[in-house]
Amino acid sequence: MVDERAAGEGRREQRYSLVSDYLNRRASVIVFAAIVALAAGAVFVRTTDLAHMRVVIGVSAFDSTRSHAALESFAEFCRGKGCGDVRWRYLAPGSAFEGCDLYLVPALDASSRLAAGDLACPLLVAEREAHRYSRSAVIVRAGAGPIPNAPRVIFSAPGSAAGFLAPYRALEAAGALTDGGTIAFSGDRPRDERTALAVIHGVYDAGGISLERLAALEAAGVVAKGEISVLLEGEAVPELVIACDPLRYGAELRTFVRAFRKAYDHTPRLLRRELAAAGMAGLYETRDDDLRLIAGLGALVPALGGGSATPAR
């Protein structure tokens, strides 16, 4: 009887030992897995810690003297939200896409490289809130009558889809350029202001500009309402993009771009108005249709031969 009791206790102790060993092994596996997960998480946090990630954005789309304050305020807002140490670097128009992480540039400047697959364009920069594309227009001085058969026309810049390409195509479709004429560009910034004032003062018969920029000039008091009439409206086109080298557009930069766009959506109303006045009224993720349209813009640029295109004086 005693031997049976002792044997039973031995079997129970053996089972307890087996269960204890199993639990100990399982606990070790769980602890090890937790350590691995924490280590992986630490790596992820390090690689996506935007608060200390410095991002240099090259800008060749705005007049630095007029946009600087608004862009710097937005950069400070981004830093306060922990979505990156944003720095702006102002570039000459048509500069190479070198030396910066991202570039805020005219869509027309990005077109050929995007078509060749040498550029990524993750964001559209809208000139008007809640509208992805800019509305192009041909403007004339109010009360000036129809433009002559060989008009003198001034456009904002050769690299502007809404300030040159689309208005030119609208004039061409209307038959206004069949007898030739003079084509000029405003040259130095502020281009939109120069374009509008050249038309108002009769230096040129017509001008190409986006309606968004015309509205901004009227809001700023540069152009009085009623001084300008819209002769023709052209196509709505992407005017500005944020672009980058596709080889550098990895996980970290993608994370920053998403955070940067979301930060814009939460900017205070006053800062949003200042950014819109500078020319950045919204940020939108590009869709396939946007990218196809941007990539095709370069092929639509007219060949202005014979010395007809001259800088404005």
* pLDDT digits 0-9 by tens, 18-73: 545 544 555 454 434 444 444 444 333 334 578 889 999 999 988 888 899 999 99
On whether the CB atoms of residues 106 and 239 are closer than 8 A, the answer is yes
Among the candidates 237, 268, 288, a domain finishes at: 237
Q: Is residue 259 part of a domain?
A: yes
Q: Is residue 304 part of a domain?
A: no
Rounded distance between C-alpha atoms, residue 57 and residue 90, angstroms: 8
In this structure, are 123 and 249 located in the same domain?
Answer: yes
Among the candidates 210, 237, 264, a domain finishes at: 237
Tell me whether the omega of the peptide bond preceding residue 106 falls within 30 degrees of 0, making it cis: no
Paired tokens of 199: 């038309």
In this structure, are 208 and 264 located in the same domain?
Answer: no
- Neighbouring CB atoms inside 10 A of 34's CB total 10
Alpha helices in the chain (DSSP H): 2-47, 64-80, 107-115, 166-173, 191-200, 211-219, 251-265, 269-278, 288-297
Specify the CATH number for the domain of residue 193. Answer: 3.40.190.10
In sequence order, the 6+-apart residues with CB closer than 8 A to the CB of 109 are 60, 93, 94, 159
Give this prediction's pTM.
Answer: 0.80
Q: Is residue 306 part of a domain?
A: no
DSSP assignment letter at 251: H
In this structure, are 245 and 231 located in the same domain?
Answer: no
Rounded distance between C-alpha atoms, residue 35 and residue 212, angstroms: 55
Per-residue pLDDT of the chain (313 residues; tens, 9 = 90+): 545 555 555 555 555 555 455 445 554 544 344 444 444 443 333 345 788 899 999 999 888 888 999 999 999 999 999 999 999 999 988 888 999 999 999 999 999 999 999 999 999 999 988 889 999 999 999 998 888 888 999 998 899 999 999 999 999 999 998 888 899 999 766 789 999 999 999 999 999 999 999 999 998 899 998 999 999 999 999 999 999 999 999 999 999 999 999 999 999 999 999 999 999 999 999 999 999 999 999 999 998 854 344 444 4
In this structure, are 253 and 217 located in the same domain?
Answer: no
Rounded distance between C-alpha atoms, residue 166 and residue 160, angstroms: 9
Count CA within 13 A, CB hemisphere, residue 161.
27
On whether the CB atoms of residues 124 and 238 are closer than 8 A, the answer is yes
In this structure, are 61 and 87 located in the same domain?
Answer: yes
Q: Is residue 11 part of a domain?
A: no
Give the residue numbers spanning the domain of 146.
Answer: 134-237
Rounded distance between C-alpha atoms, residue 23 and residue 19, angstroms: 6
Rounded distance between C-alpha atoms, residue 261 and residue 123, angstroms: 8
Rounded distance between C-alpha atoms, residue 103 and residue 121, angstroms: 9
On whether the CB atoms of residues 153 and 250 are closer than 8 A, the answer is no
Distance of CA 248 to the CA centre of its chain: 17
**Hey, what's the torsion of the CAs at 198, 203, 204, 206, to 10 degrees?**
50
In this structure, are 126 and 258 located in the same domain?
Answer: yes
Domains in the chain, number: 2
AA letter at 253: L
Q: Is residue 112 part of a domain?
A: yes
